[in-house]
């Protein structure tokens, strides 16, 4: 029986992943953790306060719950990482190394989310290949690239079953944005539903790889459930769904909410976005373990607006 620990469980990715893991493995087998206790303790999942930079605390938790699988999501994201670079390195690199050390000691399976932030100005922008230049320009990207090297090392040096995806921007309705450069793609929906003009922090033509949260969860579960022999890459797989510009997202939202308007005031996040690819080649993931996305831009916008409306009504009732 899988006994699963999710670090960073209340973040944008973790909120939906925990629900999916509960459906697959049962609520009693899923342990959430985060650096502080959530204000809402109504969840049926066990929750433990965990600082992943504390190796002893992590190992005690793994032993206490007899954990055999860790989904290691705890991290500072790109924009936050630029504000707090020392903390970003400590959490993102040392936290991962502690998880990999525990995986070696206790024979754990590990999922580690990498990011398109590992790429940089010398990376090909179109059809970015699986093996290419990684020259990140942010502390977040540096930590993710380092994490990929650590995953590869622990897999080949110690036989740790670690699996990883280079995730694009994630669009989700269930948790607020967490300080990432692709947050405009979520904030825009919220402003549109409030009938507000959105101030976008990237230029209208800025095009980035994106993925709807449901596809992201499917990708994570897919790679973790794949036969070990199918996993040919132990650093991190390119994985994506679609790419669109900020202006294209505005136009698609306007098909549902014609009065929505957006103005563009690029800030420091524009420089980060400019260093990232526009379109990713994820053919290796599709060939090795059968990855396929389901949501295009029209489907994402339709579902995001429906889910956010329903969430707002539930909150008000």
pLDDT band at 168 (very low <50, low <70, confident <90, very high): very high
**pLDDT score of 233 more than 90:** yes
Is the per-residue pLDDT at 222 higher than 70? yes
Question: Any idea what the CATH number is for the domain that residue 245 is in?
Answer: 3.90.25.10
Residues 156-165, mean pLDDT to the nearest whole number: 98
Least confident of 73-82, 132-141, 287-296: 73-82
Residue 176 lies in a domain: no
- 126 and 78 in a single domain? The answer is yes
pLDDT band at 182 (very low <50, low <70, confident <90, very high): confident
Is residue 157 in a domain?
yes
Whether 140 sits among the annotated catalytic residues: the reply is yes
Q: What is the pTM of this model?
A: 0.93
Ordered DSSP codes for 230-257: G---SS-EE---EEEEHHHHHHHHHTT-
> In this structure, are 196 and 109 located in the same domain?
no
Q: Is residue 173 part of a domain?
A: no
Distance CA 217, CA 71 (A): 12
Q: Catalytic residue, from 25, 65, 71, 140: name it.
A: 140
State which residues form the domain around 23.
4-168+212-238
Q: CATH no. for residue 124?
A: 3.40.50.720
**Residue 140: inside a domain:** yes
| Residues in Cβ contact with 199 at an 8 Å cutoff, skipping those fewer than 6 apart | 262, 263, 264, 265
278 pLDDT exceeds 70?
yes
CB contact at 8 A, 111 and 214? no
Residues 204 and 220 in one domain: no
> What is the distance between the alpha carbons of residues 197 and 36, in angstroms, rounded to a whole number?
34
Q: Please name which of 54, 57, 237, 20 lies closest in space to residue 148, comparing C-alpha atoms.
A: 237
CB-CB neighbours of 183 under 10 Å:
21
> Is residue 265 one of the residues assigned to a domain?
yes
Indicate if the pLDDT at residue 41 is higher than 60. no
Q: Is 178 inside a domain boundary?
A: no
- Tally of domains within the chain: 2
Same domain? For 293 and 308 the reply is yes
Do 257 and 296 belong to one domain? yes
Q: Are residues 66 and 34 in the same domain?
A: yes
Between 44-53, 122-131, 157-166, 306-315, the lowest mean confidence (pLDDT) is in 306-315
């Amino acid at each position: 029986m899988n006994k699963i620990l999710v670090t960073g469980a209340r973040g944008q990715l973790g909120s939906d992943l925990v629900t999916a893991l509960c459906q697959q493995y049962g609520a009693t087998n899923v342990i959430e953790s985060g650096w502080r206790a959530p204000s809402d303790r109504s969840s049926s999942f066990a929750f433990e306060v965990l600082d992943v930079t504390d190796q002893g605390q992590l190992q005690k938790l793994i032993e206490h719950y007899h954990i055999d699988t860790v989904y290691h999501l705890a991290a500072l994201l790109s924009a936050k990482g630029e504000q707090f670079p020392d903390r970003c390195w400590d959490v993102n690199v040392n936290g991962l190394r502690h998880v990999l050390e525990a995986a070696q000691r206790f024979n754990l399976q590990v999922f580690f989310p990498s990011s398109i932030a590992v790429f940089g100005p010398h990376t090909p922008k179109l059809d970015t290949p699986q093996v290419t230049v990684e020259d990140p320009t942010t502390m977040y990207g540096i930590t993710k690239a380092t994490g990929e090297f650590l995953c590869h090392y622990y897999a080949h040096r110690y036989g740790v079953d670690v699996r990883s995806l280079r995730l694009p921007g994630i669009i989700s309705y269930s948790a607020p944005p967490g300080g990432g450069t692709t947050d405009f793609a979520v904030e825009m929906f919220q402003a549109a539903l409030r009938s507000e003009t959105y101030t976008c922090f990237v230029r209208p033509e800025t095009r980035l790889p994106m993925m709807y949260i449901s596809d992201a969860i499917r990708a994570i579960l897919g790679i973790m459930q794949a036969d070990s022999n199918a996993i040919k890459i132990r650093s991190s797989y390119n994985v994506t769904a679609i790419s669109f510009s900020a202006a294209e997202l505005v136009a698609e939202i306007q098909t549902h909410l014609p009065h929505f308007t957006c103005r563009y005031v690029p800030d420091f996040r524009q420089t980060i976005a400019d260093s990232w690819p526009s379109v990713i080649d994820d053919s290796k993931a599709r060939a090795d373990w059968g990855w396929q996305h389901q949501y295009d831009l029209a489907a994402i916008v339709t579902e995001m607006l429906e889910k956010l409306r329903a969430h707002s009504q539930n909150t008000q009732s």
